[in-house]
Chains A and B, each alone.
Chain A
Amino acid sequence: MSAPPFEQRYFDDAELGDEFEEEYLATPERVATYLSVSRGNAQLDEEDGRFSDASGAQALGLERPIVPGVMSLSIITRLVTDWAGPAGRLRTLDASFRRPVLHGDRLRLLALVTDATDESGVGRVTLDVYLENERGERPLQGVAVVELPHRPR
């Protein structure tokens, strides 16, 4: 089930087992836009073409050009922060990269609520998060912790 974006999420409404997801298509144009503001990755791409050039990527043993790992991290972060709403705060994100995201991959961005605790009035929700491609592989998986406000009384 997709979460409606930009609504405020309240700690009181987060239940263990809640799931939410969005979709993302990793187009070459989006990767190029990311590289346009990412000078380090653009520099790496100029050296071997891994993020934009089919022959450069193949020389590295890749089927197609790939999405920078930190861009994949930003994509999963988008899911979490959009769900949390404007007064929610991402506190930590711990992610492992298991395999590359390739140009053209259609990704499901998925999250599952695994814990929710109130610590001195601060609502903290723990989420398992991952990216899943159309081949059923999970190129990125991790754990995010967000702080959510309590519902006003």
Chain B
Amino acid sequence: MVEHDESVIGVEHELGSFTVTAEAVASYCEALGETNPLYLDEEFARGTPYGGCIAPPLIFTTVNFRGVLPDPQVEFGNARFLGGERVEVLEPMRPGDTITAYAQVAEVYEKTGRSGRMVFVVRRTRYANQHGHDVALVDSSMVHREIEA
């Protein structure tokens, strides 16, 4: 197994908080070509089971806590990229909500494929709203590998 810091595995850290704003929702929707009135039209949204606008379920992907993520100090590779994400949506987020993120390194493992050796770092992030309710759980797999220049 590649050298890394085992002491961070399974230890949850608070990363920080952000507020969901109607402006951020509008820009996020514009970028995606999203025109769903559930996110953008308060009058329409009042007539839905949510009783008002909610944010698109993956709005939290716009917030990235680089620099404060728990780091297992993997000593391998000259490149890293996002290999996959598993998202579990628990409750809707709404404009005005303050969301706090907590993350831990869940796992570090190796694989060898056709393109050579890879090391996977899986981080689990939990997002909770201002009422203390978890709204989403995300497992992100970051792949470390060696790429020839």
A74 touches B56 (CB 8 A): yes
Closest chain B residue, CB of each to CB of A87: B49
Q: Considering the complex, which residues of chain B in the window 56-112 have a beta carbon less than 8 Å from any beta carbon of chain A?
A: 56-58, 61-66, 81-89
- Which of B1-9, B32-40, B126-134 participates in binding chain A? B32-40
Kindly state the separation between the CA atoms of A30 and B31 in the bound complex, as whole angstroms.
4
Kindly state the separation between the CA atoms of A92 and B27 in the bound complex, as whole angstroms.
24
Closest chain B residue, CB of each to CB of A47: B66
Closest chain B residue, CB of each to CB of A147: B89
Kindly state the separation between the CA atoms of A82 and B32 in the bound complex, as whole angstroms.
12
Chain A interface (Cβ < 8 Å from any Cβ of B): 5-6, 24, 30-31, 33-34, 36-41, 43-44, 61, 69-71, 73-75, 77-78, 81-82, 86-87, 89-97, 142
Q: Which residues of B have CB within 8 Å of A24?
A: 32-33
B61 touches A73 (CB 8 A): yes
Q: Which residues of A have CB within 8 Å of B48?
A: 86-87
Q: Which residues of B have CB within 8 Å of A37?
A: 24, 27-28, 31, 62
Number of residues on chain B facing chain A (CB within 8 A) = 35
Q: Which residues of A have CB within 8 Å of B86?
A: 92-95
Kindly state the separation between the CA atoms of A97 and B51 in the bound complex, as whole angstroms.
35
Kindly identify which residue among A6, A61, A71, A142 contacts B147, using a CB–CB cutoff of 8 Å: A61
Q: Which residues of B have CB within 8 Å of A38?
A: 61-64
Kindly identify which residue among A34, A87, A93 contacts B62, using a CB–CB cutoff of 8 Å: A34
Q: Which residues of B have CB within 8 Å of A34?
A: 27-28, 31-32, 62
Kindly identify which residue among B33, B66, B83 contacts A43, using a CB–CB cutoff of 8 Å: B66
The residue among A44, A70, A75, A81 with the most chain B CB atoms within 10 A of its own CB is: A70
Kindly identify which residue among B34, B50, B63, B83 contacts A78, using a CB–CB cutoff of 8 Å: B34
Shortest beta-carbon distance from B27 to chain A in Å: 5
B24 touches A92 (CB 8 A): no
Kindly state the separation between the CA atoms of A96 and B87 in the bound complex, as whole angstroms.
12
A90 touches B57 (CB 8 A): yes
Q: Which residues of A have CB within 8 Å of B63?
A: 38-40
A86 and B28 in contact (CB under 8 A), knowing A6-B37, A81-B57? no
Q: Which residues of B have CB within 8 Å of A30?
A: 30-33
Kindly state the separation between the CA atoms of A135 and B45 in the bound complex, as whole angstroms.
38
A44 touches B66 (CB 8 A): yes
The 6 closest A-B pairs by CB, nearest first: A40-B64, A70-B61, A34-B31, A69-B82, A33-B31, A86-B48
Q: Which residues of B have CB within 8 Å of A39?
A: 62-64
